[in-house]
């Protein structure tokens, strides 16, 4: 019954978060102002902080760049009200020193309160990862009004598919690195219950990873929907894969254009996609679907983790703000060989990935092109950036086809 977990009835306007008080008592629904989040019961410690400070000399990730011995000593005895600690938050970054060329984040949040209790470390990490965004002074705009998007129909001869994804966390329940089995099962219950209320072109079905038939599994693989137990040590070292596949599953609508992952790296990952270049329709469905799911969980007394400083709260600090990655698979055989390609992408605030997603290579000059930014700009702004940028890339490709020269665009200004 939902009252075992905290329920909040607050609108987005109120800056408040629920904090469950640990150590034996259950409180239902009580608001605390952000400034008064109290850490939970102190951590038992036998050795001084200096004996526990990790060896980060060979490390190259955001956590290692900012975790000084002084900050470590200050935070190491603290725990969030649910009992999540600094050592747990940084474990993934300690265990994965990183790569000289790729700078990973190196830490995760175990719950909403982590972003407050460990702010002395998380704020500089967020600032570095999100190009100077300062959570202490700035506010993040949320805008899911897809009608504002212009020119969102790409040339289908170049754009093979369009996709927008984000994540959402259920307020009051711990995040995947820290959640107990009971909490994870509650996330599943709350989300599946809400998704069952979707209608018409959003109506669909849930496939639990523990109860899937072989046939269902094969179909989901063929549709490229099935997600596996994480193998990346970046994820497994943070404890996100515990108890797999308990309370994990995939929901999708009957037309296979709106998909929700439950309890993978985040409570939910929400994906809208279709073949071809109609990013406008993909984004419309994305916004409608998200708002509808939000309305349905609110009917039952739940809400998403969100605040005006950090936007939507997710497990990895890299996904704060919008948590949004809007992208296309696009054919750019000439442009991708042009030495100016990377610079053009940079100035358009876009990134390229292979068609298998993050850490994969491109196949046959078809690239996954998406927005770089997540925090500090709204959903509408970021998708518009992708639309404008991809249209520019296609124009370049067409120019090169005709033997004309292309220009590097001016660097993007917000």
The footprint of other proteins (CB under 8 A) covers 4, 20, 22-26, 40-41, 43-44, 46-48, 51-55, 58, 79, 81-85, 87-88, 91, 94-95, 178, 180-183, 185-186, 210, 236-237, 239, 241-244, 246
- Check residue 246 and report its DSSP letter: T
* 80 or 307: CB nearest other proteins: 80
Residue 405 in contact with residue 340, Cβ under 8 Å?
A: no
- Check residue 36 and report its DSSP letter: G
Of the candidates 166, 191, 199, 215, the residue with the CA atom closest to the CA atom of residue 316? 166
Phi, then psi, of 355 in degrees rounded to 5: -75, 0
What Rg, from alpha-carbon coordinates, does the chain have?
Answer: 22
Report, in Å, the least distance between residue 151 CB and other proteins. Answer: 47
Which tokens belong to 372? 């770089």
Of the candidates 45, 58, 28, the residue with the CA atom closest to the CA atom of residue 85? 45
Report, in Å, the least distance between residue 210 CB and other proteins. Answer: 7
Report, in Å, the least distance between residue 48 CB and other proteins. Answer: 8
* 48 or 411: CB nearest other proteins: 48
Report, in Å, the least distance between residue 32 CB and other proteins. Answer: 16
* 58 or 413: CB nearest other proteins: 58
Report, in Å, the least distance between residue 78 CB and other proteins. Answer: 10
Sign of the Cα pseudo-torsion (56, 59, 61, 62, in order): positive
* 186 or 303: CB nearest other proteins: 186
* 185 or 352: CB nearest other proteins: 185
Report, in Å, the least distance between residue 178 CB and other proteins. Answer: 7
* 4 or 131: CB nearest other proteins: 4
* 237 or 362: CB nearest other proteins: 237
Of the candidates 36, 46, 184, 208, the residue with the CA atom closest to the CA atom of residue 110? 184
Cα–Cα distance for residue pair 301/303, rounded to 1 Å: 7
Report, in Å, the least distance between residue 105 CB and other proteins. Answer: 18
**H or E stretch at 275:** strand 268-275
Rounded alpha-carbon distances, angstroms, from residue 385 to 130, 150, 162, 353 = 16, 10, 14, 17
Residue 127 in contact with residue 134, Cβ under 8 Å?
A: yes
């Amino acid at each position: 019954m939902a009252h075992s977990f905290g329920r909040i009835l607050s609108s987005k306007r109120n800056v408040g978060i629920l904090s469950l008080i640990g150590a034996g008592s259950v409180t239902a629904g009580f608001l605390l102002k952000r400034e008064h989040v109290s850490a939970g019961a102190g951590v038992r410690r036998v050795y001084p902080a200096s004996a526990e400070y990790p060896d980060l000399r060979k490390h190259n990730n955001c956590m290692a760049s900012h975790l000084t011995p002084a900050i470590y000593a200050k935070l190491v005895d603290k725990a969030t009200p649910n009992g999540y600690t600094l050592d747990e938050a940084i474990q993934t970054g300690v265990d994965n020193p990183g790569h000289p060329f790729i700078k990973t984040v190196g830490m995760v949040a175990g719950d909403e309160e982590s972003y407050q209790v460990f702010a002395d470390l998380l704020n500089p990490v967020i600032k570095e990862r999100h190009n100077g965004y300062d959570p202490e002074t700035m506010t993040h705009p949320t805008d899911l009004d897809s009608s504002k998007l212009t020119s969102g129909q790409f040339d289908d001869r170049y754009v093979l598919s369009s996709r927008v994804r984000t994540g959402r966390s259920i307020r009051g329940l711990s995040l995947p690195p820290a959640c107990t089995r009971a909490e994870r099962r509650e996330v599943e219950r709350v989300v599946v219950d809400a998704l069952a209320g979707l209608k018409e072109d959003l109506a669909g079905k849930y496939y639990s990873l523990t109860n899937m038939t072989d046939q269902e599994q094969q179909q989901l693989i063929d549709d490229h929907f099935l997600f596996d137990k994480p193998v990346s040590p970046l994820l497994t070292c943070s404890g996100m894969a515990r108890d797999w596949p308990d309370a994990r599953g995939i929901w999708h609508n009957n037309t296979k254009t709106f998909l929700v992952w439950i309890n993978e790296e985040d409570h939910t990952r929400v994906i809208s996609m279709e073949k071809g270049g109609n990013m406008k329709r993909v984004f419309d469905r994305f916004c409608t679907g998200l708002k509808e799911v939000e309305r349905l969980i609110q009917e039952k007394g739940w809400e998403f983790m969100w605040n005006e400083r950090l936007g939507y709260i997710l497990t990895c600090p890299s996904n704060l703000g919008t948590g949004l990655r809007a992208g296309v698979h696009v054919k750019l055989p000439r442009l991708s060989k042009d030495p100016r390609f990377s610079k053009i992408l940079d100035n358009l605030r876009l990134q390229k990935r292979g068609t298998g997603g993050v850490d994969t290579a491109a196949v046959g000059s078809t690239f996954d092109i998406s927005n770089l930014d997540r925090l500090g700009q709204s959903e509408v702004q970021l998708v518009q950036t992708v639309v404008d940028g991809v249209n520019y890339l296609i124009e370049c490709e067409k120019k090169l086809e005709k033997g004309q020269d292309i220009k590097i665009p001016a660097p993007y200004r917000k």
